[in-house]
C-alpha cells in the first residue's frame, strides 16, 4: 500500500509498504480522508519524536475517516462496511490522571496509536483503541470530510470546557486558523457575549469573521487598547492562544481582564520561557492554563456538534490532494497563505 514518509516539512515522500495484517480483536480501516493537522508541521515536535524512536522519518496522520474493510475475531459492535472515525490516542480510564479528569495526561494516551498512520491507504486499529472508546461509527448524514474534524474539534471542546467558556463572557482568540475558527464557533454556541480574533493574515481574519467573530484585529495592533475600545472598557474574560508564536503568548498576558483566564491551546517550542507578571496576576486572580488533545468524552461532544450541523466544518476545507501529491499538500500547509484545512485522499488518484 502507499504511504507518506515525513522527513521534514520540505521532505515528505511517497513510499510503499505491505498492507497491515490484523489480528484477533483488531480492525483494518481503508482511509478515505485524512486531514493535515497544524501539529504535523511542527518540525521541532516531529524531530523530537524521531530522535526518541531512533528513526529518520515518521508516517503521520491522525485526523482520519474511512471504512472498516476487515474485522478480527472477538470484535463486537462493529462490522465490515461501517464508516468510522478512529482516535489515534486513547486513555486507560484507570490511572490517577484519568480519575482526576486529566485523561490527556494519561501515560497510555501518550503511547497509543494506529498502525502505521493516517497518511496511508490502510491503517490497523489495535484492540486497545477499540476497547477504550476510540472508534466512532459515523451516521449516514456525516460525511468522511466531516469525520476528519472530529479530532480537532474534540481538542477545542476539551479546551473550552476546562476554562468554562460560557454565557456573557468575552473571548479573545489569538490566531485565526482552523483551531481559531472552531473556537469561535464553539464559543458562540456556548453563549459567549463577544468573540474577538487576531492574526497576521488578512485572509484568515476575513474567514474568521464569516464564522462568527464579532471583531477582528491585525496582530500587530495594540490589542489591549482595541479590547478596551470595543469591549466596554474591559479586557477579555478568556484569552485562547491558537498560535505558537512567542509574540502571541506575550500578547495574551496583556489582554486578560481581572478574574479572567489565559488558555494556551498552542505553545512556543521547547526552551522558550514566558515571563509572567505574577504580582499583577495574583492581585487580579488571573488563571493561566493549558489544554492538550482530546479524550473520548471530548470526541463524543465534537461528534454531536458535527452531527447536529451547528458547527460548520466543511467550509474550512480549502484544499484536497491525493496521497501521491502529499509533498504539495505539505507545502500549502507550511506556506499558510490562502489555506485553512488541507485534506489528503489516500485512496484517490
Looking at the domain assignment, is residue 300 inside a domain? no
Looking at the domain assignment, is residue 302 inside a domain? no
If asked whether residues 165 and 124 sit together in one domain, one would say: no
* Confidence band, pLDDT 50/70/90 cuts, at residue 348: confident
Predicted local confidence at residue 281, as pLDDT? 95
Cβ(270)–Cβ(48) below 8 Å? yes
If asked whether residues 136 and 9 sit together in one domain, one would say: yes
If asked whether residues 176 and 221 sit together in one domain, one would say: yes
Q: What is the pLDDT of residues 289-326, one digit of tens each?
A: 999 999 999 999 999 999 999 999 999 999 999 999 99
Predicted local confidence at residue 76, as pLDDT? 95
If asked whether residues 276 and 195 sit together in one domain, one would say: yes
Average pLDDT for 272-299: 96
What are the two backbone dihedrals, phi and then psi, of residue 182, each rounded to the nearest 5 degrees? -65, -40
Looking at the domain assignment, is residue 306 inside a domain? no
If asked whether residues 232 and 130 sit together in one domain, one would say: no
Share of the chain above pLDDT 90, in %: 99
Domain containing residue 259: CATH number = 3.40.50.720
If asked whether residues 143 and 163 sit together in one domain, one would say: no
R_g of the chain computed on alpha carbons: 20
Looking at the domain assignment, is residue 307 inside a domain? no
The span from the CA of 329 to the CA of 212, in Å, is: 28
If asked whether residues 181 and 285 sit together in one domain, one would say: yes
* Structural domain span for residue 216: 156-290
If asked whether residues 170 and 144 sit together in one domain, one would say: no
Q: What is the pLDDT of residues 143-179, one digit of tens each?
A: 999 999 999 999 999 999 999 999 999 999 999 999 9
142 burial via Cβ count (<10 Å: 0-12, 13-18, 19+):
buried
Looking at the domain assignment, is residue 141 inside a domain? yes
Looking at the domain assignment, is residue 87 inside a domain? yes
Predicted local confidence at residue 38, as pLDDT? 93
Number of structural domains, the chain? 2
Q: What is the pLDDT of residues 184-196, one digit of tens each?
A: 999 999 999 999 9
If asked whether residues 160 and 145 sit together in one domain, one would say: no
Average pLDDT for 215-230: 98
Q: What is the pLDDT of residues 38-60, one digit of tens each?
A: 999 999 999 999 999 999 999 99
Looking at the domain assignment, is residue 57 inside a domain? yes
Q: What is the pLDDT of residues 8-28, one digit of tens each?
A: 999 999 999 999 999 999 999
Looking at the domain assignment, is residue 303 inside a domain? no
If asked whether residues 135 and 162 sit together in one domain, one would say: no
If asked whether residues 87 and 119 sit together in one domain, one would say: yes
Q: What is the pLDDT of residues 106-132, one digit of tens each?
A: 999 999 999 999 999 999 999 999 999
User: Residue 349: pLDDT above 70?
Assistant: no
For the chain, the three-class secondary structure string (H helix, E strand, C coil) is CEEEEEEECCEEEEEECCCCCCCCCCEEEEEEEEECCHHHHCHHHHHHHHHHHCCCCECCCCEEEEEEEEECCCCCCCCCCCEEEECCCCCCCCCHHHHCCCHHHCCCHHHCCCECCCCECEEEECHHHHHCCCEEECCCCCCHHHHHCHHHHHHHHHHHHHHCCCCCCEEEEECCCHHHHHHHHHHHHCCCCEEEEEECCHHHHHHHHHCCCCEEEECCCCHHHHHHHHCCCCCEEEEEECCCCHHHHHHHHCCEEEEEEEEECCCCCCCCCCCCCHHHHHHHCCEEEECCCCCHHHHHHHHHHHHHCCCCCHHHEEEEEEHHHHHHHHHHHHHCCCCCEEEEECCCC
If asked whether residues 14 and 143 sit together in one domain, one would say: yes
Domain containing residue 66: CATH number = 3.90.180.10
The residue among 251, 275, 290 that closes a domain is: 290
Q: Report strand pairing: 83-86 vs 122-125.
A: unpaired
Amino acid at each position: 500500500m502507499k504511504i507518506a514518509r515525513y522527513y521534514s516539512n520540505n521532505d515528505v515522500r511517497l513510499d510503499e509498504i505491505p498492507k497491515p495484517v490484523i489480528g484477533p480483536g483488531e480492525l483494518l480501516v481503508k482511509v478515505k480522508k485524512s486531514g493535515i493537522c497544524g501539529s504535523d508541521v511542527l518540525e521541532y515536535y516531529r524531530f523530537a519524536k524521531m530522535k526518541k524512536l531512533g528513526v529518520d522519518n515518521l508516517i503521520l496522520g491522525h485526523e482520519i475517516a474511512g471504512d472498516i474493510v476487515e474485522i478480527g475475531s472477538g470484535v463486537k459492535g462493529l462490522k465490515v462496511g461501517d464508516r468510522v472515525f478512529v482516535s489515534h490516542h486513547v486513555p486507560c480510564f484507570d490511572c490517577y490522571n484519568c480519575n482526576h479528569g486529566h485523561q490527556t495526561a494519561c501515560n497510555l494516551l501518550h503511547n497509543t496509536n494506529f498502525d502505521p498512520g493516517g497518511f496511508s491507504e490502510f491503517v490497523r486499529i489495535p484492540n486497545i483503541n477499540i476497547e477504550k472508546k476510540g472508534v466512532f461509527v459515523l451516521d449516514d448524514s456525516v460525511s468522511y470530510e466531516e469525520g476528519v474534524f472530529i479530532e480537532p474539534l474534540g481538542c477545542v471542546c476539551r479546551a473550552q470546557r476546562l476554562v468554562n467558556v460560557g454565557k456573557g463572557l468575552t473571548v479573545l482568540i489569538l490566531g485565526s486558523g482552523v483551531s481559531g475558527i472552531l473556537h469561535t464557533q464553539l464559543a458562540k454556541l456556548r453563549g459567549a457575549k463577544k468573540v474577538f480574533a487576531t492574526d497576521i493574515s488578512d485572509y484568515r481574519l476575513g474567514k474568521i469573521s464569516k464564522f462568527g467573530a464579532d471583531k477582528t484585529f491585525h496582530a500587530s495592533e495594540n490589542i489591549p487598547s482595541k479590547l478596551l475600545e470595543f469591549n466596554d472598557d474591559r479586557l477579555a474574560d478568556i484569552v485562547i492562544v491558537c498560535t505558537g508564536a512567542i509574540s502571541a503568548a506575550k500578547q495574551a498576558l496583556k489582554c486578560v481582564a481581572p478574574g479572567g483566564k489565559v488558555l494556551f491551546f498552542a505553545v512556543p517550542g521547547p526552551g522558550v520561557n514566558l515571563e509572567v507578571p505574577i504580582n499583577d496576576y495574583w492581585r487580579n486572580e488571573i488563571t493561566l492554563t493549558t489544554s492538550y488533545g482530546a479524550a473520548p468524552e471530548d470526541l463524543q461532544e465534537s461528534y454531536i456538534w458535527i452531527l447536529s450541523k451547528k458547527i460548520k466544518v466543511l467550509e474550512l476545507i480549502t484544499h484536497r490532494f491525493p496521497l501521491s501529491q502529499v509533498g504539495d499538500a505539505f507545502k500549502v500547509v507550511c506556506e499558510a497563505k490562502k489555506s485553512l484545512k488541507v485534506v489528503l485522499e489516500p485512496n484517490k488518484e
